[in-house]
Structure 1
Amino acid sequence: MRSVLVLVICSVYWNTVLFGQSCKSVSGFVTDATTGEALPGASVAGRGSVGQLADMVGSFSLPATTGDTLRITFIGYEPVELVIAACELKVTLNPLATDIEAVVIEGDRLITEEFAIRKLHRLDVYTNPSAKADPILAVNSTPFATTTDESANISLRGGSPAETGIFLNDVPIEDAVRYSQMNGIGTFSIFNTALIDEVQVYPGNPPMEFGNSTSGVIALYSDEQIPIRNSTQLSISLASLGAYHTRRVTNRSSLAFFSNVQSSALFNYINARALRGLKSFFSADAGFHYFSRISPTLSLKMFNYTLREAYRYQYVHPTMEGVFNQDRVRNFTVANLRKQLGSYSLSLNQGISFSSADYTFSSLDIESPAQNYYAALNLHRSTSHYQWKTGVVYEYKQSATRGKYPTYPYAYGQQFGSIPVNRQDNIGLLEWFGYYKHYIGNALTVGAGLRKNLPNDDIDYLSWQGNVNVRPARRWNINLSAGDYNKYILQHERNSKGYLLMSRQYSLDVTYLDRKFDLSMSLFRKNISRGGGREQLSGLELFGRVKLGDSWKTQLSVTSLNAHDDSGNGTAYNIGYFFRGNVEYKIQGIWTFTLVFLMREGSYYYPVDATVFHDDLQLFEPVYSNSPSRLPSYNTIDFGASRIFLLNDKLTAIAFINVANVADFRNVQSYSYNYDYTTRAEQLFSRRVVYFGIVLSF
């Protein structure tokens, strides 16, 4: 009896201690029980439909009182239910146990992974309003992006977009943009963010294991997680309707389907004043992603994508004005097979792509089909002291131009005639590469590599690369790299042929990173040779990001580029300043408000100095200046707001609204001229544009 009485008294005492603390709200962190890392996006559900998703550092805060029950879930982890005993909690989740054999396949990431300047994860893309949920546009908001237009064609550190290599699961993707014009410029990438697990960005000195790039690499990797339950995501916005569904096929495999339709009808109606030149656009795409752990040491991944699109815009030319039409279809497939053999990893990466684009405007009527085939067999060995990787790569590229061009580039109109064009350009490249890196203690890594082609049609080159990575203290990282890089460029214009683009680069990157501060400084220089012309470019990047408490975050980057050709004229990327920054404010991890700004010096263009009148044509031919002039400076401020709704433990909604160029700056993109080139009019980038939508996940 005495023992029972003591037990009752102890029970009352502990309940008083645990539940005597009255709370109106509860806050805390969700972390991995094994690694201690934060789990951003974990679902924390309270009474009824009250709940939220943990923010970027795994924190949450929601209305609740002591004695209530919380349910915390995260994909790939065992769910937890707990009774609130304090106003502040630390919740740890254990990885979900499975009944399959232990998986020992290592991800076939780049051997130079630690030399990447920035890594972006899926949540980084979704929470960046400038990215518009697009992984490539997310790169465009980083400090080393020097893109001078409002497109998904990314320039890294003053390199042209043609020099940037874009890879999906280690396979190069040519023309990775939607609504691509004849100059290759497009507005969005073709990648579905729901499929992307990580984006690695190398702004300079691209990894030697990848050819097809001379000025930076954007390497995207699809998700390899097998979901514990089937899930669906629906997205509805001002210009699109999309669906994404992923399901577990077996304990070892998963399959995802996605589709999206974009239409400009409502988008144009809401933004009619801002997009006067845009007549219409439409696209429909679909694809699938399959992943299978065939055995504990063997995995297979397949990705297929199909797209059809149309784009119409008002084109102004001195000889006529009308609607420019462009239509395009494309399909590509990427397959990856990986085999783990102890400390060795063998991988086979393949890709095949077909596309066809049609462009029509007055006397211009061009069809441009293209195809690409890629295959790479790589062997990678990794130990605690060193790594090496070697491989053989074959790539075949083909493009054609068929139809008719205006007889004179300065005279559009059926009355001026046209000339037929039937040109095809192709190249097959067989290359070998090898890369070795060595770990010297915990603070120093050195690496070097070569890449050589089998000489073909007078194309003979050798690329090399050297890297030194120093970590003098826990939060500091210093990268020093140099190299020669080569890439063969196929042309899509009427009188040009492909050429070898060569670039010698040197760069120094210093970073400091902790929970509150992210600081970096970069110095770089490039000597570029393309089609017989030469350019020299040097640059400086400064970047700082600071977290002010749990609610505020701000960042600022400053970039300066000095670029000239052999004649001493400034090139397109001779831009004295790029200022890019943002301020972000969060309310309990539910509301997010972001203000983004960009200011840069205007790009160079070549003005018309004089004209020549042709009596036979009865029109003027422009004579352009040999010295470039600058466009006015470019300035924009974008505003974004989003709200997370946790409707229940299975249904989540994210509503968002973005206002681009909220101050309605008149940024000049180019100039159009009247028939005799005596007057000119400004052609502007986008004015104020409103975009909103909602994403439902269940």
Structure 2
Amino acid sequence: MRHLSLLIKLWLYAHLGIAQVMDISGIVKDANTGEALPGAHVLVPSSFSKSNITNEKGYFFLKNLREGDTLIVTFIGYQERIFLASESRDSITILLQPGNVKLKEVMVKSAVLGAENFSFSKLTPIDIYQNPNSKADALVAVNTSASSTTTDENAAVSFRGASPNQTGYFLNGVPIKNPIKYAQLTNTGTLSIFNTDFLKKVTVFPGNPPLEYGQSTSGTIVLETADRFPSYWQQTASISLANLGYSARGEIGKQTFVGVFANYQFDEALKAVNPINFENINAFNSLDGGLLLSSHQKWGSLKFYQYGLWDNYNFQYRHPSYQNAFLQEAVRSISTLQWVQELNDWQINAVLGNSYLDKKISFGNLNFSEKDFDPYGALNFTWRKDNNLLKTGYSFWHQNNFREGRFPTYSYAMSPEHPSNQFSGEQSASSHELYTFYRKIWRNHSIGSGVRLGYLPELQKRLYSYQINYRYELSSSLKVKAGVGRYYQIRNTERAIDYAYQSSIDLHYSGPQWAIEQSFYYNFRQEKEQTKGAESRITYQPNSKIQLDQSLSYVSHNTRKDQWFIRSFAIYKPFSQWSLNASYQSFAGGNSALVSSASFNNELSVYAPFQSGKTLSFQPYSNLSLGINHLFAINGYTNGIAFISVTNLLDTKNSFDINYNFDYSQYDKMYLSRRSIYAGIIINLINKK
């Protein structure tokens, strides 16, 4: 009957002559998950020249259709949809049902976040790939947000004036320390250890993070790997100026999915294309890979993730006393195991994990190795009923660090023949922690509060954190959030404990074309450091072709120079499969301590510097970058994306430090990324069952 009705409508429109020319835009999504489907075909049988393929965000645009034209939407592994142009609006959402609907009898379960009262943002893999500055890296994408105060082009994230080591990182519920690689695509910017293609989402709390994620005195970044893959198999191959990669993922049984990936990063092509930008880098390369296995059965959802990395970085370093290659090498292993089960109004979430690091550093008389071994376990319970949410749980984290090697006796004497001290030592810290958080929604109001208690057996110390947050929904478009809290963090290498008090107010407005965010915050740390600041962000998307994003933030410090950040992003899609992006970032320049004089040490045959107490202030950072992406389809089973980007188009010399000559009479400025070109192509192959 559905198809008969369609034929009658087609006949009426064709014979009554009431057709009207129109343009149609929209997005194609998975009906179950709500995720966009890039590479879906939107066919117009009356004129295949008008047909289109959805871009990387699932969007399509059709021009000069006549009212009554038939549209057929297809995607491998999904049921096709047929409808009339007359039934559509200017912008529509098309939901496709997976073809294998019989597997819906078991729901995919993921841990409840319950973060509605907190100020947070979410990134999907598509958001990360579309970010013109991210280099397809999750943490680099986070570093372009209004809350980021990172000033060294590094993947380690700083939030709201805090240092990078105060940020908390969690992968599938397991805390991760130092989530960056040595191997670099720029002079200073490192990439993180997370594979974007296997991520489900990245949730960013720039301040006042949920207490279920402890060990953070600043913001927190929660990364989750995919819960499932399509029922068909998909293979992806990528090649760029600095990377070769391969991944495969799909279904291996009833509601059981597996994915594997491997990447090799090399330097030869990138250095050849950008000789000036990489003139001080001798070599960098890395090899990493991972396995993701998930199964969703009546006894619960189980997800296992294993990651491994070998990383090597060799760059030319000039010290006044010695000039040679600075070598860094690391081996990493990360394991996470997560189980989730629903029992009526309750959810149980159990997490096990371990992070292992073995790194070596060598330069002159500096030669040492460091090993970290950090097993972790947690058990969380969540109760949800009506407008009530209760979360409680226990976690155990054992951090073990071992260091040995030689360290320079004098910081100004670093050649191999200069004196050094032998060092060998091991430190460990265990923490037992309990937390409870309760949230109540009443009409347009929502209030939550929680407490986290910790005990450190080695130090015989008891710790506590607390938080209170409130959300008021003035309308469906305007929300206000406020939060205060006290947080603690354990630094294993020093066996030190940091405390921080955070308070913030966030306003969120979203309309059909506009989105506005405004934040004010005040943070106080035990070192008597106070920071207060404001963040503003405006996003404007008048249509499916144009998106503009502008952010401005200011941070005031009581102990150091104030900071300001300006970030502008623009995405323009002149054609359905092309995307042009531009970005401009600027922030206050840093400074470097100056040497007033130097005396010659006859015993060591080297100059010893004396600090003057003065500093050299650098010009503000400035970086204009451009990029082009092209999404293409070879056939119904193969598609891909090609990209090229130019970073620091104007070749601005952004200073971040200085380097003195042998007697400290002269110095040269050291720069962040110079102009560099990066390009590559990613091919996706779908194997239909």
User: TM-score, normalization: structure 1?
Assistant: 0.90
- In structure 2, which of residues 237, 252, 261 is the aligned counterpart of residue 258 of structure 1? 261
3-state secondary structure, aligned to 1:107? coil
- What residue in structure 2 maps to residue 449 of structure 1? 450
- What residue in structure 2 maps to residue 590 of structure 1? 577
How far apart are 1:122 and its partner, in Å? 1.6
How far apart are 1:450 and its partner, in Å? 0.7
* C-alpha contact 1:105 1:340 (8 A) present in aligned 2: no
Q: Is 1:561 matched with 2:550?
A: no
How far apart are 1:37 and its partner, in Å? 7.0
Q: Take 1:335 and 1:33, find their aligned partners in 2: how far apart are those partners?
A: 27
3-state secondary structure, aligned to 2:193? coil
- In structure 2, which of residues 553, 562, 568 is the aligned counterpart of residue 581 of structure 1? 568
- What residue in structure 1 maps to residue 681 of structure 2? 694
- What residue in structure 1 maps to residue 147 of structure 2? 144
Q: CA, structure 1 residues 446+10, in 2 after alignment: closer, same or farther (shift >3 Å)?
A: closer
Note the 1:274-313 alignment, pairs <5 A. Answer: 274-295=277-298, 298-313=300-315
- What residue in structure 1 maps to residue 495 of structure 2? 498
Q: CA, structure 1 residues 84+513, in 2 after alignment: closer, same or farther (shift >3 Å)?
A: closer
Q: CA, structure 1 residues 67+537, in 2 after alignment: closer, same or farther (shift >3 Å)?
A: closer
Q: Take 1:350 and 1:582, find their aligned partners in 2: how far apart are those partners?
A: 39
Q: CA, structure 1 residues 73+375, in 2 after alignment: closer, same or farther (shift >3 Å)?
A: farther
Q: What is the RMSD of the two structures over their aligned residues, measured on CA atoms?
A: 2.8
Q: CA, structure 1 residues 33+257, in 2 after alignment: closer, same or farther (shift >3 Å)?
A: closer
Q: Take 2:441 and 2:77, find their aligned partners in 1: how far apart are those partners?
A: 33
Q: Is 1:246 matched with 2:233?
A: no
3-state secondary structure, aligned to 1:129? coil
* C-alpha contact 1:452 1:461 (8 A) present in aligned 2: yes
Q: Take 1:510 and 1:679, find their aligned partners in 2: how far apart are those partners?
A: 50
* C-alpha contact 2:591 2:657 (8 A) present in aligned 1: no
Note the 1:144-223 alignment, pairs <5 A. Answer: 144-179=147-182, 187-223=190-226
How far apart are 1:614 and its partner, in Å? 2.5
Q: Take 2:430 and 2:134, find their aligned partners in 1: how far apart are those partners?
A: 35
Q: Take 1:10 and 1:517, find their aligned partners in 2: how far apart are those partners?
A: 41
* C-alpha contact 2:263 2:287 (8 A) present in aligned 1: yes
* C-alpha contact 2:117 2:470 (8 A) present in aligned 1: no
Q: Is 1:538 matched with 2:535?
A: no
How far apart are 1:71 and its partner, in Å? 4.6
- What residue in structure 2 maps to residue 368 of structure 1? 370
Note the 1:255-654 alignment, pairs <5 A. Answer: 255-295=258-298, 298-441=300-443, 443-456=444-457, 457-491=459-493, 497-529=494-526, 533-565=527-559, 570=560, 574-626=561-613, 628-654=615-641
3-state secondary structure, aligned to 1:123? helix
Q: Take 2:557 and 2:252, find their aligned partners in 1: how far apart are those partners?
A: 53
Which is further off, 307-316 or 585-594?
585-594
* C-alpha contact 1:673 1:679 (8 A) present in aligned 2: yes
How far apart are 1:370 and its partner, in Å? 1.0
* C-alpha contact 1:50 1:63 (8 A) present in aligned 2: no
Q: Take 1:379 and 1:227, find their aligned partners in 2: how far apart are those partners?
A: 29
Q: CA, structure 1 residues 541+384, in 2 after alignment: closer, same or farther (shift >3 Å)?
A: same
* C-alpha contact 2:28 2:54 (8 A) present in aligned 1: no
Which is further off, 34-43 or 249-258?
34-43
How far apart are 1:515 and its partner, in Å? 2.6
Q: CA, structure 1 residues 307+500, in 2 after alignment: closer, same or farther (shift >3 Å)?
A: same
| Aligned residue type for 1:561 | V
| Aligned residue type for 2:403 | T
3-state secondary structure, aligned to 2:573? strand
Q: Take 2:17 and 2:33, find their aligned partners in 1: how far apart are those partners?
A: 27
Deviations along 1:526-569, whole A, 9 cap, x unmatched?
Answer: 1113xxx431111111111111333222121111111133xxxx
What is the aligned residue count? 670
* C-alpha contact 2:10 2:68 (8 A) present in aligned 1: no
3-state secondary structure, aligned to 1:461? strand
Deviations along 1:221-242, whole A, 9 cap, x unmatched?
Answer: 1111341211111111110010
* C-alpha contact 2:618 2:655 (8 A) present in aligned 1: yes
Q: Which runs of 5+ in 2 are unaligned?
A: none
Q: Take 2:144 and 2:122, find their aligned partners in 1: how far apart are those partners?
A: 13
How far apart are 1:658 and its partner, in Å? 0.9
Q: Take 2:8 and 2:331, find their aligned partners in 1: how far apart are those partners?
A: 74
* C-alpha contact 2:13 2:68 (8 A) present in aligned 1: no
Q: Take 1:458 and 1:612, find their aligned partners in 2: how far apart are those partners?
A: 47
How far apart are 1:594 and its partner, in Å? 1.0
* C-alpha contact 1:231 1:247 (8 A) present in aligned 2: yes
Q: Which runs of 5+ in 1 are unaligned?
A: 1-6, 492-496
Q: Take 2:10 and 2:207, find their aligned partners in 1: how far apart are those partners?
A: 65
- What residue in structure 2 maps to residue 657 of structure 1? 644
* C-alpha contact 2:50 2:62 (8 A) present in aligned 1: no
Deviations along 1:573-629, whole A, 9 cap, x unmatched?
Answer: x33321111122112331111110111111233222333432322322222344655
Q: CA, structure 1 residues 178+71, in 2 after alignment: closer, same or farther (shift >3 Å)?
A: farther
* C-alpha contact 2:40 2:58 (8 A) present in aligned 1: no
How far apart are 1:12 and its partner, in Å? 9.2
* C-alpha contact 2:107 2:296 (8 A) present in aligned 1: no
How far apart are 1:286 and its partner, in Å? 1.1
Q: CA, structure 1 residues 644+604, in 2 after alignment: closer, same or farther (shift >3 Å)?
A: same
- In structure 1, which of residues 679, 685, 697 is the aligned counterpart of residue 672 of structure 2? 685
Q: Take 1:678 and 1:55, find their aligned partners in 2: how far apart are those partners?
A: 54
* C-alpha contact 2:623 2:652 (8 A) present in aligned 1: yes
Q: Take 2:509 and 2:73, find their aligned partners in 1: how far apart are those partners?
A: 33
Q: Take 2:156 and 2:384, find their aligned partners in 1: how far apart are those partners?
A: 35
How far apart are 1:186 and its partner, in Å? 5.9
How far apart are 1:269 and its partner, in Å? 0.7
Deviations along 1:153-208, whole A, 9 cap, x unmatched?
Answer: 11111111101111111111122111179xxx861011111111111110001111
* C-alpha contact 2:291 2:307 (8 A) present in aligned 1: yes
Q: Take 1:256 and 1:57, find their aligned partners in 2: how far apart are those partners?
A: 23
Q: Is 1:80 matched with 2:74?
A: no
Q: CA, structure 1 residues 65+13, in 2 after alignment: closer, same or farther (shift >3 Å)?
A: closer
Q: CA, structure 1 residues 561+454, in 2 after alignment: closer, same or farther (shift >3 Å)?
A: same
Q: CA, structure 1 residues 436+466, in 2 after alignment: closer, same or farther (shift >3 Å)?
A: same
Q: Take 2:366 and 2:214, find their aligned partners in 1: how far apart are those partners?
A: 35
3-state secondary structure, aligned to 1:607? strand
Deviations along 1:314-361, whole A, 9 cap, x unmatched?
Answer: 111011111101111111110001111110011111111211111111
How far apart are 1:45 and its partner, in Å? 4.7
- What residue in structure 2 maps to residue 4 of structure 1? none
How far apart are 1:459 and its partner, in Å? 3.1
| Aligned residue type for 1:14 | L
| Aligned residue type for 1:310 | N
Identical positions, percent: 26
3-state secondary structure, aligned to 2:360? strand
Q: Take 1:629 and 1:536, find their aligned partners in 2: how far apart are those partners?
A: 24
| Aligned residue type for 2:113 | L
Q: Take 1:325 and 1:515, find their aligned partners in 2: how far apart are those partners?
A: 52
User: TM-score, normalization: structure 2?
Assistant: 0.91
- What residue in structure 2 maps to residue 3 of structure 1? none
| Aligned residue type for 2:231 | I
Deviations along 1:26-49, whole A, 9 cap, x unmatched?
Answer: 633245697997946361254499
How far apart are 1:73 and its partner, in Å? 3.4
